[in-house]
Amino acid sequence: MITSTQNPRIKHLLLLQQKSSLRREEGLFVVEGRREVEHCLAAGFRIRTAFVCEEISPLPAPPLGECYIPVSPNVYERIAYRGGTEGIVAEVEARQIRLADLRLSASPLIVVLESVEKPGNLGAVLRSADAAGADAVVVCDPLTDLFNPNLIRSSIGAAFTVPCVACTSDECIAFFRERGIRILTAQLQDSRLYYDTPMTGPTAIVMGTEATGLTDQWRRAADAHIRIPMLGRLDSLNVSVSAAILLFEAVRQRQIQ
């Protein structure tokens, strides 16, 4: 059992949580929580090391094999970001997914985020994508690490249930064109209401940042421009809220067709 927060393994874990450069260099990321670890294992990821506090986790840990290391409550308090995570934090081997790796349905539904900055927003979008049964989330020209601990936490396991791909906008647009996937860009200018736009066929819903919106590259590539009606004084919603609204409009249309 590890009982000291100065243990080299604990120091390494804390550095992985803090430094994206170390995560990239070692090909590792951190997952916290029983539910998240179980989703991670189910998705085929390999756990390098799992730190488990049995005093906090009265239930048996997921099947962790030889990577299981018990830690004391004071150590777990140091490595855990939030309470209620059932006493488990794991170092996991990263696995990059490419566009070509995606296994799309006959009529895919895909969310595209251009230059997303906040990992919490991306995690929330992944949750909505999971709930709506989307095929994938694509992050074009990302400004955040796809294995950021805040992203993993905010997704509540959806980071492992929904394929998430990072690529350039050029690559993404070409991929959609080759496969006949219709591009719908969420924007205020020159747009129609989202519920008046067909989403029953192969569809990619594309959103930009709340601060600057989408680049002209995506606006030009779009097959249609859509907007959510804004009846108050503000002119935008959080990107994760917008994604949920648009995804479930696609779900509604597909259920009644």
Q: What is the pLDDT of residues 90-141, one digit of tens each?
A: 999 998 899 999 999 999 999 999 988 889 999 999 999 999 999 999 999 8
Q: Is there a single domain that holds both residue 107 and residue 86?
A: no
Torsion angle, CA of 103/227/238/245, rounded to 10 degrees? -60
Which amino acid would we find at residue 55? E
What CATH number does residue 208 fall under? 3.40.1280.10
Sequence-ordered alpha helix ranges (H) in 102-234:
119-131, 149-155, 158-161, 169-179, 216-221
**Beta-ladder partners of 141:** none
Torsion angle, CA of 11/14/19/22, rounded to 10 degrees? 50
The residue behind tokens 């004391």 is 72
pLDDT for the residue 59: 55
Q: Is there a single domain that holds both residue 114 and residue 238?
A: yes
**CA-based max dimension of the chain:** 62
The radius of gyration computed from the CA coordinates of the chain, to the nearest angstrom, equals: 20
pLDDT for the residue 6: 97
Given a cut of 90, is residue 55 above it in pLDDT? no
Q: What is the pLDDT of residues 191-231, one digit of tens each?
A: 999 999 999 999 999 999 776 779 999 999 999 999 999 99
pLDDT for the residue 139: 95
Among 68, 93, 118, the domain boundary falls at: 93
Sheet harboring 136-140: ordered strands across? 164-167, 136-140, 109-114, 203-207, 182-186, 224-227, 192-193
DSSP state of 194: G
Cβ atoms 85, 16 nearer than 8 A: no
> Model-level pTM?
0.91
CA–CA separation, 76 and 31 (whole Å): 13
pLDDT for the residue 196: 97
Among 28, 62, 93, the domain boundary falls at: 93
Q: Is there a single domain that holds both residue 137 and residue 240?
A: yes
Residue 3 located in a structural domain: no
Cβ atoms 173, 51 nearer than 8 A: no
Residue 108 located in a structural domain: yes
Given a cut of 60, is residue 14 above it in pLDDT? yes
What CATH number does residue 65 fall under? 3.30.1330.30
**Stated length of the chain:** 257
| pLDDT > 70 fraction of the chain, expressed in percent and rounded | 95
User: Higher-confidence residue: 151 or 55?
Assistant: 151
The residue behind tokens 């917008």 is 242
Q: What is the pLDDT of residues 62-103, one digit of tens each?
A: 667 678 899 999 999 999 987 656 789 999 999 889 999 999
Average pLDDT, the chain: 91
pLDDT for the residue 85: 62
Residue span of the structural domain in which 31 resides: 8-93
Among 93, 127, 149, the domain boundary falls at: 93
Q: Is there a single domain that holds both residue 131 and residue 145?
A: yes
Residue 29 located in a structural domain: yes
Average pLDDT, integer, range 39-51: 91
What's the structural domain count of the chain?
2
The residue behind tokens 């308090």 is 77
